Amino acid sequence: MQTVGRMPTGMVAVEQERMAVGEDAAPLVPDYGGACLANVVPALLERPDDAPEWLPRDAVEADQVVLMVLDGLGWEQLQQRRHIAPTLCSMTGGPIASVLPTTTATALTSLSTGLAPGEHGVVGYRIHVHGEVLNVLRWTTAAGDARQTIPPLKIQTHLPFLGQRPPVVTRAEFARTGFTVAHLDGVRFTGYRMPSSMVTDVARLLRSSEPFVYAYYEGIDKVSHEYGLGEHYDAELAAADRLVADVLGSVPSGTAVVVVSDHGQVEVGARVVPLASEVMAHVSLQSGEGRFRWLHARPGHASLLVDAAVACHGSDAWVVTRDDVIEQGWFGPNVSAEAAARLGDVALVARTDVAFIEPTDSGPFDLIGRHGSATAAELWVPLLVGVG
């Protein structure tokens, strides 16, 4: 098992070599049967005798485990900043794949359920549900709060954590959100308001003999969205590294602290691309997000939409159809009928550092850092293990 300081192996190295020689990169599709975010929880909770080689032995052999999610920390971003993350870079582990799309709603659901997106059905940040577009993180549609009209447990029906009910330590304000119900239903929820309280609660739960604790911290993702990958990002990564050190220092001796992330980041800034009028002539609505934008075709316009998307946006995006992503396993080897119905007809999956803008996909501030696509910067995330 490699340490975080070494060059990634396998597909990561191939992708870096391809980029170094200037060849056009292909979209990266996770190996859903291998070193993938969807396989982390089953490996930790089932503790198989033949544990996967990508999971350090310390995580398999420990009597107590903390699974700590640092939202928004990509492997590439960490490697570029090893000097400001000494705790993380002293841990054992390496890169694993997130899922597609590389977005929080989809990736955290795959992490908690142990399923690929095509099985759990949370196939994006904004998904098409019966003629409406559901913002999964806010659980809203154009009409507002959708918890009653689109019940979370109808969208995602699988139990998290293999049906066990571990303690989950996350932001207190997430307690009653639709997304929490969708991906964490039935857990024992502990809410915190300050990071120091997360450390205290994790340690308290472990002292009470809990074998497995899940903890979530969203700071890196929030800062990268608002400020990009500059000095604010560096400061937040340093703070998150200290947070991991605090957790390691507070847990009972012998506890394995497993750090993982849901996706990486790219800095888009002002490089936002409105869809060409030639494309919009064939579009009825849009879902997805800026770097994985689903286009839903007007009746009878699907093939025309593909041609227009390639002609107008093919230099910035991989243009793929619903059939493409299903047949090529982008969302896993099996895609349910319900999940397939939530996809558009054609996707613009950003290959350069751009975002495809749709007017109703907005928030309180312009996003500088973004994710969602199938690039190495977004797909590869760290899985690191330290022992308290």
pLDDT bin (cut points 50, 70, 90) of residue 17 is: very low
pLDDT at 62: 96
pLDDT bin (cut points 50, 70, 90) of residue 365 is: confident
Q: Are residues 259 and 289 in the same domain?
A: no
Query: In the chain, what percentage of residues exceed pLDDT 90?
Result: 90
Does position 6 have pLDDT exceeding 80, yes or no? no
Does position 18 have pLDDT exceeding 60, yes or no? no
Q: Are 244 and 259 in contact (CB under 8 A)?
A: yes
pLDDT at 9: 36
Task: Read off φ and ψ for residue 387, nearest 5 degrees.
Answer: -120, 125
Residue 5 resides in a domain? no
Q: Are residues 230 and 298 in the same domain?
A: no
Beta bridge partner(s), residue 128? 133
Distance between CA atoms of residues 58 and 144, nearest Å: 46
Cα 144 to its chain centre, rounded Å, is 25
Q: Are 217 and 169 in contact (CB under 8 A)?
A: no
CATH (domain of 240): 3.40.720.10
Distance between CA atoms of residues 29 and 333, nearest Å: 11
Strands 380-387 and 256-260: antiparallel
Query: What confidence tens digit (pLDDT) does each residue in 20-51 have?
Result: 333 468 999 999 999 999 999 999 999 777 88
Q: Are residues 148 and 170 in the same domain?
A: yes
Query: What confidence tens digit (pLDDT) does each residue in 196-218 have?
Result: 999 999 999 999 999 999 999 99
pLDDT at 24: 63
Q: Are residues 130 and 196 in the same domain?
A: yes
pLDDT at 246: 98
Residue 6 resides in a domain? no
Q: Are residues 193 and 227 in the same domain?
A: yes
Does position 14 have pLDDT exceeding 60, yes or no? no
Tokens linked to 235: 């400061």
Query: What confidence tens digit (pLDDT) does each residue in 210-266 have?
Result: 999 999 999 999 999 999 999 999 999 999 999 999 999 999 999 999 999 999 999
Q: Are residues 206 and 305 in the same domain?
A: no
Q: Are residues 32 and 137 in the same domain?
A: yes
Q: Are residues 334 and 246 in the same domain?
A: no
Q: What is the mean pLDDT of the chain?
A: 93
Distance between CA atoms of residues 136 and 50, nearest Å: 36
Strands 355-357 and 317-321: unpaired
Distance between CA atoms of residues 261 and 363, nearest Å: 23
Q: Are 17 and 106 in contact (CB under 8 A)?
A: no
The count of structural domains within the chain is: 2
Q: Are residues 311 and 232 in the same domain?
A: no
Helix axes 231-250, 195-207, angle to 10 degrees: 20
Q: Are 376 and 80 in contact (CB under 8 A)?
A: no
Closest alpha carbon to 15 in 74, 84, 101, 81: 74
Q: Are residues 134 and 73 in the same domain?
A: yes
Does position 82 have pLDDT exceeding 70, yes or no? yes
pLDDT at 73: 98
Q: Are residues 126 and 168 in the same domain?
A: yes
Q: Are residues 280 and 198 in the same domain?
A: no
Residue 290 resides in a domain? yes
93: enclosing H helix or E strand: strand 92-97
Distance between CA atoms of residues 57 and 258, nearest Å: 11
Strands 167-171 and 188-192: parallel
The backbone region for 124, taken as left when phi is positive above 0, alpha when psi lies in -120 to 50, beta otherwise, is left
- The whole domain housing 288 covers 272-369
Beta bridge partner(s), residue 369? 267
Residue 3 resides in a domain? no
Helix, strand or coil, per DSSP, at residue 285: strand
pLDDT at 157: 97
